[in-house]
Amino acid sequence: MRFDVIGDIHGEFDKLASLLGVLGYSESGGIRRHPERTAVFVGDLIDRGPHQLETVCLVRGMVEAGAARCILGNHEFNAIAWVTPDPDRPGHFLRDHHKPGNRAQHQAFLDVVEGTPRQKEITDWFRTLPLWLDLGGLRVVHACWHEESMVVLRPVLGPEQTLTDDAILLGSRQGHPVFEALEVVCKGPEVPLPEGRLLLGQGRQGPSRGSGSVVAGGFVDVSQGGDRSAGRHGNDSGCSVAGRVEGAPVLRSTGTVWALLVYGHAERDFTAVCVS
């Protein structure tokens, strides 16, 4: 089987639709399909961009028709926590509505769903998405395939690595091991840089996170024997705005859309792509 692994969309429906066309997906009955390949979305479908509902509907339709797979990103987790009441704080939610920055980050999605039945419908669907996929020769995670964190998470996940009530609650409790493990898997580990060094470009380093530290971007991991480092490539720093990803040859481009070859594997050929 062959896969097209597609990074963060963040509501950029038009760019995603264009990209799928470039990759050879055609629409039939409202569903985009490829005759030979399966799309794999790495999450972060929502927030920021201008077409939130259209993006979710496109990806959800493909997943439910068997034309795609999709995993959970940190923005989907945040959307779930936003609507989940905090059992220890009546009248509050697991993602604090009043904490500076929380609403602003989520505003584009809230503008079209807040207070409507669609909000629960969509966040309920987000709960069906696995945190990671192991497709046998191809492993996909939103930010970091980290075995130690996965060991912590597995006991509180469903059989398909989906969120349970316990995972959502504990994953929202800062300082709890489940929270820390979810941060690594969905956002990537923070690693210190040498004194006076800054990393520019891919990643989320910036003054708000403190100089001298950087969040390691996500990757698609193609296992090759016992060497898990083979085939890694960062694919999580906001692909809808990331532009051309360094370290991977461009297969084709059209306008602002880039398709990138990351790694070819004897058993699982795939193309990793981003919307720019």
What residues does each domain of the chain span? 2-144+218-275
Rounded CA-CA distance 42/206 in Å is 24
The strands making up 257-260's β-sheet, listed across from edge to edge, are: 68-70, 37-41, 2-6, 270-275, 257-260, 250-254
Place of tokens 């068997």: 66
Residues with Cβ within 8 Å of 10's Cβ and at least 6 positions away in sequence, in order, are 44, 45, 46, 47, 48, 49, 75, 238, 239, 240, 241
Q: pLDDT at position 71, please?
A: 96
Q: pLDDT at position 198, please?
A: 64
Q: Is 78 helix (H, G, I), strand (E, B) or coil?
A: helix
Mean pLDDT by 10 residues, the chain (276 residues): 87 92 92 94 93 97 97 97 97 96 96 97 98 88 91 97 98 97 89 67 37 35 33 37 33 33 35 48
Residues with Cβ within 8 Å of 19's Cβ and at least 6 positions away in sequence, in order, are 6, 257, 259, 273, 275
Element (H, E) at 59: helix 52-64
Q: Is 246 helix (H, G, I), strand (E, B) or coil?
A: coil
Q: pLDDT at position 263, please?
A: 31
| Domain 2-144+218-275 coded CATH 3.60.21 | yes
Rounded CA-CA distance 273/261 in Å is 7
Token reading at 248:
């991977």
* φ/ψ (deg, to 5) at 119: -60, -50
Place of tokens 């959800």: 60
Q: pLDDT at position 203, please?
A: 40
Cβ count near 1 (within 10 Å): 13
Q: pLDDT at position 81, please?
A: 98
Place of tokens 């941060």: 183
The strands making up 139-141's β-sheet, listed across from edge to edge, are: 132-134, 139-141, 220-221
